[in-house]
Structure 1
Amino acid sequence: MSGVRGWAFIATLAVCLCCSSLLVHGQITHPDEVSALRAIKKSLKDPMNNLKNWRQGDPCTSNWTGVLCFNTTENDGYLHVQELQLLNMNLSGTLSPELGQLSYMEILDFMWNKISGSIPKEIGNITSLELLLLNGNQLTGPLPEELGYLPELNRIQIDQNQISGSLPKSFAFLNKTKHFHMNNNSISGQIPPEISRLPSLVHLLLDNNNLSGYLPPELSELPNLLILQLDNNNFNRTTIPASYGNMTKLLKLSLRNCSLQGPIPDLSSIPNLGYLDLSFNNLQGSIPPNRLSDNITTIDMSDNNLYGPIPENFSGLYYLQKLLLENNSLNGSVSSTIWENVTSRHTETLTLDFRNNLLTNISGSLNLPPNVTISLQGNPVCKASNQINSVFCGSLKGGSDTYTNSTNTTTNCTIQSCPESEGYEYVPASPVPCSCAAPLWVGYRLKSPGFSDFRPYENLFEEYLTSGLNLALYQLVINSFIWEEGPRLKMYLKLFPNNSYIFNTSELERIIGMFTGWSIPDSDIFGPYELINITLVGPYKNEIVVTSSSGLSTASLAGIVLGAIACAVILSAIIFVIITRSHMRKQQAFSRKRQSSRIPIKIDGVKGFNFEEMALATNNFSTQIGQGGYGKVYKGILADGTVVAIKRAQEGSLQGDKEFLTEIELLSRLHHRNLVSLLGYCDEESEQMLVYEFMENGTVRDHISAKSEKPLSFTMRLRVALGSAKGILYLHTEVTPPVFHRDIKSSNILLDSKFTAKVADFGLSKLAPVPDIEGTLPGHVSTVVKGTPGYLDPEYFLTHKLTDKSDVYSLGVVYLELLTGMQPISHGKNIVREVNMAYQSGIIFSVMDERMGSYPSECAEKFAKLALKCCQDETDARPSMAEVVREIENIIPMMLESDATATGSMGSNPQKKVTPPSSPSTEMNPYVSSDIYGSDLVSGVVPTITPR
């Protein structure tokens, strides 16, 4: 088949040389679309060469890397692009505005790539578009208003990008749209009430954004809405509209961590409500006494300000899996009817979390069924009797959130007869004993399931999916599943052929086509799904699967060949010459590259290594210790015994030789005790690697995270703050021309064996502006915004003007991390806003990290004030890096004075500190205050360096 396709392509190519359009299936592709496709392909970067065989007119194909689909339809005498699917193909680059010229397209699918830039407004010209699938990329910028005028759009998925700006009001015109999946972005502003006009909308997923304003009561007017998920936004302490109790079709309402206040509305009139999450808000009042839907699986009202009793209407809920009411002010007694008769329920387990309330009694039986997990810890009832304390007041046990099926063989079957090493395995539930077959692996995710525990629904899911795929039940095996943030349920499935060793090509076509064409119907309980990947391994690894009904038939192939044969004969000699010369040029270029790669260019202070040396140092790259945007990081030991960190560029990060050597030359000129030193590089065998000094104690983030077993003391954190500031000050003032880092974060500040802080990762660095011909020095560099969310200077983000104060802002965020241990962005909360509110309210010590031990309160407060000043929105309001260094150096003597006051002398106990209110003392880090000083501001650094 591949040979026939090859000859068909040569014949088509011959015809293309004779005319300006493409001949496909004996017809001509519209010339405007031909040029548009060329522009689209050019705008994409394809490090894995997935598009090398992309030819206009090919049907959809799938291989181990992903799915590539180019499908056409006939109209007005031409062929027009109907589907363009480039799923999970490791593509980067941008989306070309020429997409708008594919005016007959119905499916635009670029999911799970690394595409950046904005969404072209020209997509709004594709009036036939039904599926717009862009999730899982790196897209930025606002949503174009033009998308709201796509009359046929059924599904828009832009989740898991970096989209900003507000929701366009024009979306109110998308009358056929059923699915809005826009979660995990940076969308801001008010939810337009006009969205309530959408007659077809069933799923509205806007969680994990920056939405604000109020919750529109008008959303209750959506006639077919099943899922409303808005977690982790900030709705300015508004109330939940009472009208939400009238959403009679609603299955799931999730408003976790949305800054909501006021009472919980009566939701008892929603007949099929299965999932309710109102946790981490400021809701007040009592829990409504009316009984919720009998279909409810999850009720989470934890971390609010609720009071009053726990209603007995939580009893007898057949499907209930979790009732979470912890961290409120609920009082009175707890009725045992909530957990009695749990063995007659649908659920395998029931989790009841009532911790940290004001509950005083348990009414009814104290017998707890074995499949019920409950905790009343932190309530007065736990002091009542030893029996209650031992059974009901322990720590809450977590339920199972992962599962892996490790059973690949069948009892009494000989493993040798089923060659597992070749991708075959026994079919666990096959009606034929010891049946051996090769499975198709599918990565699959439930984006908003209506339950908290999957196990009771596992069989129902298998029935649902096999029915949707038209497979026998035994053909599906859930190999593993794991709960992810959202919560979302990610799973890996194995699909086995029916009474055969392998799937035939037509069956593969059908199954893959159903996944990529979203032909599997949605389920109320399982909610919307998404395809992550389809992996063809074992006997399928070389399979090219046609997943479209418009594939080339034998007659079509014959038509192409016969129609093009005359032109092909005439041009065959020309083609042969072109190919031969091209091949020779490639061979010569490759030979030159190999030859040049063996002779590294000399750069003072930096050693050139060959590929073999790097492979030997890393035991053939088996010593990975990290991974970043540039590529993987390996620990290595050079021939002379030096321990190093080796950054190996991934395909998408490779630079041209000139750019790579220019960056090495820049890095080689940067020398400071608070910068990670570049020791060498490798540039050969299509590989680019940077060799750095090895930092034994990892990143600052490692030592201040909640998982750290040995958190840094306050003294050490101040030392880190000063060292990192000095390193950045050197970049700003001691290098000519100056360098802006633009990706400062706690994971880019490393610690050596003595815990000296060193700034790392200059992959995003930008040379600062230099004086123009008249000697005028611009105050900024205009550049594309790059960096890490949570650390980005907001003014740089808005104006694209990078200044030295952009680094100051990022470092200020790191300082807040050092003080609090929090992450820059977590559950929709921003560290700058949270700490600033605590500081303004006079409760700054309440957010400081208790794990850093005791410390002088005045020093910590001054450090917090400096960090917040660095994080001012206005550039001019921030201090310079020199002022930052000076301020920290002024705090250090205050610590020494505090030591002297507390101990009577510096030498008697140099580690004792003054403990601020509410800050418990813990064991101090064995580094005393005198270690903080290090070098002076400019002493010990290399003098001003001018470029060679």
Structure 2
Amino acid sequence: MSPYKAHGSDGYGPIFFQHYCPIIGQDICKAIRDISVIEDLNITVDHFITLSRTWDEHALALVVPPSVVQVTKVVGLSSLKELWENVPPSWNAFRDPCGDHWEGIVCNNTRVISICLITLSSIGLKGKLSGDIQQLSELQTLDLSSNKELTGSLPEAIGRLSKLTNLILVGCNFIGKIPDSIGSLSNLIFLSLNSNSFSGPIPSSIGNLSKLYWLDLAENKLTGSLPVSNGTRPGLDMLHNCKHFHFGRNQLSGAIPPQLLHANMTVIHMLLDNNKLTGSIPSTIGLVNKMEVIRLDWNSFSGFVPSNITNLTRVTDLLFSNNQLTGPMPDLTEMSGLNYLDMSNNSFETSDVPSWFTTLSSLTTLIMEATQIQGDVPDTLFSLPQLQKVVLKKNRLSGILDIGDSRSSQLRVVDLQNNNISSYTQRPKNSDVQLILVGNPVCSDTVTTQRYCILPQQSNVSYSTPKNCAPVCDSNKVSSLSCHCGYPYTGILVFRAPKFSDLENVTYYKDLENTLMTSFKSYKIPVDSVSLSNINRAPSNYLEMTLQVFPLDHDRFNRTAISTVGFMLSNQTFKPPPDFGPFYFTANGYTTFAEQSVPGSRKILSMTAIIAIAVVGAAVLLVPLCIVTIICCRKKRSIKTVDPDNTFAASWMSPGSTTSTLPLAGSRVFPLEEIKKMTNYFSEANVIGSGTYGKVYRGTLTNGQLVAVKRAEQGSPQGDLEFKTEVELLSRVHHKNLVRLFGFCLEKGELILIYEYVPNGTLKESLSGKSGIRLDWRRRIKVGLGAARGLAYLHELASPPIIHRDIKSNNLLLDEHLNAKVSDFGLSKPLLDVGKGHITTEVKGTMGYLDPEYYMSQKLNEKSDVYSFGVLMLELVTGKAPIDRGRYIVREVRNAIDRTQDLYGLDEFLDPSIGLGSELKGFEKYVDFSLSCVEESGVDRPSMGEVVKQFEEILQMAGLNPYSDSTTSSGAFGHGNSRHLYGDESLYGYSGQLPR
């Protein structure tokens, strides 16, 4: 018997490991130990070592029993399992990924060929992608989408997965450069790295991927130019078979190389919006005659629009807005298929209204704001059969406006504000059209009551999938369209170039719902119904909506079903109706998995559905693929006990039970003993803040993650109701600009909240100099934009809408990149009756920030938050508290403002650390908008959605991309002490309930 074999054992013994583990590596040794069933080999140990080092499974298979071939599979997967948290339970329960059916692992001839891990942003996979992934040599599909806690860089070793066809990492948090080795994946068809934090240039090696069909690098922090080949290196111009170039929302710069675009290209979607691209649009664009969607908006392109762009007769969406284009406006007569046209905010030569406007018979949307057109508006324009929206504001249009009797039945909006129109011919048939003529001579009479002379209030899209019943669902279940209570799989569908603008037209959404259900049914995925809601056209012209997918015949999905639905959406197997255009999907949290069926008898969903989706997706691309997928999701947290004597905990418990049902998904009930351990038994050394509520402690979870533990003192004025409010609201709202709640504790009379640890403290601390962080002008705008986005989410996307009621600098936290997070929801109120528009409630808030209209009337609505936010905006630039030595900041600024001077004459009010006057680009716009937020009457204030848009424009004026999170906390920021959620509120004046 070999001296390396253990006596009486089928496996290798201690001597083997002692001598050879340092040579072959601990991973291989661990795998051999775990298997411990290796048979006698007809090769020497040295030969085995050599073969193992090459990781050549095919060679090993010739001389080594199948159980040894298993080594290479286990090593790669074990490495991932060791680096990742929240892997599926079966990964811990079985040793053989194939024979024992590890969840998410699909094998072919005993080799692991595909891993597709789709979990959820708040509870999903945590960790990094190991270079040991290269050991899975048969891997064809890798999908790690919607794992927002997967971070780190993409390893160079990814380039050794020579059989990879699908690499999908949408919506994670990967950082660093995209490795050049990705150009070695010669079989790659789908490359989706969008919605991460990748930085650096686009690797020119991607040009080697001759089979590439889908290239999506959007919504990252990529810089540099678009790479093209030069004889010694490849470039994007070599991707002749690629149909999708998605590069929007990055920081790309330089000109579009003329060489990039040529007649051999088959690109149909070219999305370069929201970058820093400059130079002229190359005339070679007219050679790519298969293009259907072109987005070059929100860049700095200059020069003329190439005249041969009219060769692109298949284009349906053309967006050139917000650039610096000059010369004559192009004649687009030949582009008869145009649905959506936006060339706003350029510097074209002054011209009469183009005659070709009226020839575009397919047009739904015409947006030509500030394009120097003049003359009369032809009434025939409004007769285009599919026309829905016309925006021609800030031009030189004149004469009499007549929409005509033969206008399109789909026309909903005509916005001609700030022109020279002298009169309007009213016709009864046009009463349902929203006409805006503010800023025209026709509205010069200040006492006019005509509807078209009043700016309309921005309204949210009211559509949500109708239900025929309203059953009362227990816990956090939701009623499906067929009236079954369950836990839906939820996420955000984003359409980058929809062909329509009438967001109130339910026909579009019905078509989308029907198409989704048809796709799910065709692959036998157990879906009961789907629901759409929160329809929103973002400032970037992206159409966003919430999608809920409900389980069939059960109240919850298992992991395999979630994996299948997610993969179907992430790898573009699902094809939306033509009106919606290119899309992507990111998933939200799903914590209520059904138990997986016994291996080999998956009753809820067979893995064949996943394989079918992959195969059909490959067939669409005419490529013989065999793509498979898996899902790794967080273990469902067990429900902890709560104190049944607590006065409000009973509302979270089942009748006659002491077990909490949890107010909503996303929060965990922590045992008091566990909290004591994480805070070292509430050690004073761990105190990081205090206030009227109690103390805040630094804590450490068992996985090493830092948290902030907020413990109420007995008799605190912020008691049970505010505690309950905060838990319930933060458990159901999730946004990067809202502080995250991990959980709470109710044991033994304690009221404890566990939040994410936000390292750079409150905005108040930074403005006061306490934190040591310096905020210059651009960083302050960035902070304001983040806070505005968080509030806009509460007002416009939460259902029902939520009014924060205590917006102030002490409730605004700054993370490690100085991104803002809104906190402290103890005073928040849901607007349950949206139709009523307000709620009548006891006045609470903080003096100085409080809306005077709410204080007088006790009627609370979203505009109350807008007022508080306006005060915060003034505090951001002055660094002064709202009430300072008896002086009210709003009144002081209003009295001092002089619009004839630079910086409106407010130099003495500015915080000295904000920067020099010449650096404060957009300051005047900022001040004007701040004052509009603090108007006495709520109807005169903007919505938070409008606030976000204004902040984005100001940020661009200041030279930053509003869709980038590039602000960091190093260098000039300084180094403060450890930060915390709640500082000593006594330092900042009164906080809490106001006297009545």
Query: Which of the five TM-score ranges fits, normalised by the shorter chain?
Result: 0.5 to 0.7
Q: 2:952 aligns with which of 826, 834, 857?
A: 826
The reply on whether 1:616 has 2:675 as its aligned counterpart is: no
Change (3 A) 1:185 1:39: farther
The reply on whether 1:461 has 2:475 as its aligned counterpart is: no
Q: 2:385 aligns with which of 318, 323, 331?
A: 318
How do 1:129-528 and structure 2 match up within 5 A?
129-169=188-228, 170-197=235-262, 199-235=265-301, 237-286=302-351, 287-290=353-356, 291-337=358-404, 340-342=405-407, 345=409, 347=410, 350-362=412-424, 365-383=426-444, 390-396=450-456, 398=458, 400-405=460-465, 410=469, 415=471, 420-421=474-475, 423=477, 425=479, 427-428=481-482, 439-456=488-505, 457-470=508-521, 475-496=529-550, 511-521=565-575, 523-528=577-582
Matched AA of 2:293: I
Preserved contact between residue 243 and residue 269 of structure 2 (Cα < 8 Å): yes
Secondary structure in 2 aligned to 1:336?
coil
Residue of structure 2 equivalent to 1:65: 120
Secondary structure in 2 aligned to 1:163?
strand
TM-score by length of 1: 0.58
Q: 1:649 aligns with which of 746, 757, 764?
A: 757
Secondary structure in 1 aligned to 2:430?
coil
What is the CA distance between 1:420 and its match in structure 2? Answer: 4.8
Preserved contact between residue 480 and residue 530 of structure 2 (Cα < 8 Å): no
Secondary structure in 1 aligned to 2:223?
coil
Preserved contact between residue 696 and residue 710 of structure 2 (Cα < 8 Å): no
Residue of structure 2 equivalent to 1:912: none
Q: Distance in 2 between matches of 1:315 and 1:29?
A: 70
How do 1:756-905 and structure 2 match up within 5 A?
820-821=925-926, 826-827=952-953, 830-832=956-958
What is the CA distance between 1:292 and its match in structure 2? Answer: 3.6
Secondary structure in 1 aligned to 2:348?
strand
Matched AA of 1:106: T
Residue of structure 1 equivalent to 2:652: none
What is the CA distance between 1:68 and its match in structure 2? Answer: 8.4
Residue of structure 2 equivalent to 1:529: 583
Secondary structure in 1 aligned to 2:35?
helix
- Output one character per residue of 1:102-156: Cα deviation in whole Å (capped at 9) or x when no partner: 1111111111111111111111111111111111111111111111211111111
- Output one character per residue of 1:438-486: Cα deviation in whole Å (capped at 9) or x when no partner: 6554532222211112343222323433344446998333244222232
What is the CA distance between 1:16 and its match in structure 2? Answer: 9.1
Matched AA of 1:225: M
Preserved contact between residue 379 and residue 403 of structure 2 (Cα < 8 Å): no
How do 1:703-714 and structure 2 match up within 5 A?
707-708=866-867
Matched AA of 2:422: T
What is the CA distance between 1:359 and its match in structure 2? Answer: 1.6
Preserved contact between residue 163 and residue 186 of structure 1 (Cα < 8 Å): yes
Preserved contact between residue 309 and residue 332 of structure 1 (Cα < 8 Å): yes
Q: Distance in 2 between matches of 1:201 and 1:828?
A: 34
Coordinate RMSD, CA, aligned: 5.5
What is the CA distance between 1:261 and its match in structure 2? Answer: 2.2
Change (3 A) 1:530 1:596: closer
Q: Distance in 2 between matches of 1:628 and 1:498?
A: 31
* Deviating more after overlay: 446-455 vs 31-40: 31-40
Percent of residue pairs bearing the same amino acid type: 21
What is the CA distance between 1:519 and its match in structure 2? Answer: 1.1
Q: Distance in 2 between matches of 1:207 and 1:522?
A: 22
Q: 2:770 aligns with which of 667, 675, 678?
A: 675
What is the CA distance between 1:259 and its match in structure 2? Answer: 1.7
Residue of structure 2 equivalent to 1:803: none
Secondary structure in 2 aligned to 1:273?
coil
Q: Distance in 1 between matches of 2:872 and 2:480?
A: 55
Preserved contact between residue 329 and residue 349 of structure 2 (Cα < 8 Å): yes
Q: Distance in 2 between matches of 1:111 and 1:141?
A: 18
Preserved contact between residue 29 and residue 78 of structure 1 (Cα < 8 Å): no
Matched AA of 2:349: Q
Q: Runs of 5+ in structure 2 lacking a partner?
A: 1-29, 40-47, 99-104, 107-114, 129-134, 229-234, 613-672, 690-694, 700-707, 745-751, 774-807, 815-819, 823-847, 850-862, 889-911, 928-947, 961-966, 975-996
Matched AA of 2:374: Y
Q: Distance in 1 between matches of 2:117 and 2:767?
A: 51
Matched AA of 1:83: T
Preserved contact between residue 875 and residue 882 of structure 2 (Cα < 8 Å): no
Matched AA of 2:513: E
Q: Distance in 2 between matches of 1:525 and 1:316?
A: 21
Preserved contact between residue 442 and residue 533 of structure 1 (Cα < 8 Å): yes
Change (3 A) 1:296 1:608: closer
Q: Distance in 2 between matches of 1:550 and 1:699?
A: 43
Matched AA of 1:826: E
Preserved contact between residue 117 and residue 145 of structure 2 (Cα < 8 Å): no
Matched AA of 1:80: E
Residue of structure 1 equivalent to 2:986: none
Matched AA of 1:360: S
Q: Distance in 2 between matches of 1:256 and 1:447?
A: 15
Change (3 A) 1:542 1:341: farther
Preserved contact between residue 278 and residue 302 of structure 1 (Cα < 8 Å): yes
Q: Distance in 2 between matches of 1:496 and 1:632?
A: 26
Q: 1:81 aligns with which of 133, 139, 142?
A: 139
Change (3 A) 1:84 1:629: same
What is the CA distance between 1:312 and its match in structure 2? Answer: 3.4
Preserved contact between residue 711 and residue 753 of structure 2 (Cα < 8 Å): no
What is the CA distance between 1:367 and its match in structure 2? Answer: 2.9
Change (3 A) 1:427 1:149: same
Change (3 A) 1:631 1:546: farther
What is the CA distance between 1:262 and its match in structure 2? Answer: 2.5
What is the CA distance between 1:375 and its match in structure 2? Answer: 1.6
What is the CA distance between 1:811 and its match in structure 2? Answer: 8.5
TM-score by length of 2: 0.55
Matched AA of 2:224: G
Preserved contact between residue 449 and residue 527 of structure 1 (Cα < 8 Å): yes
Matched AA of 2:347: N
Secondary structure in 1 aligned to 2:383?
coil
Change (3 A) 1:153 1:479: same
The reply on whether 1:14 has 2:35 as its aligned counterpart is: yes
Preserved contact between residue 27 and residue 79 of structure 1 (Cα < 8 Å): no
Preserved contact between residue 480 and residue 550 of structure 2 (Cα < 8 Å): no
Change (3 A) 1:503 1:646: closer
Change (3 A) 1:486 1:833: closer
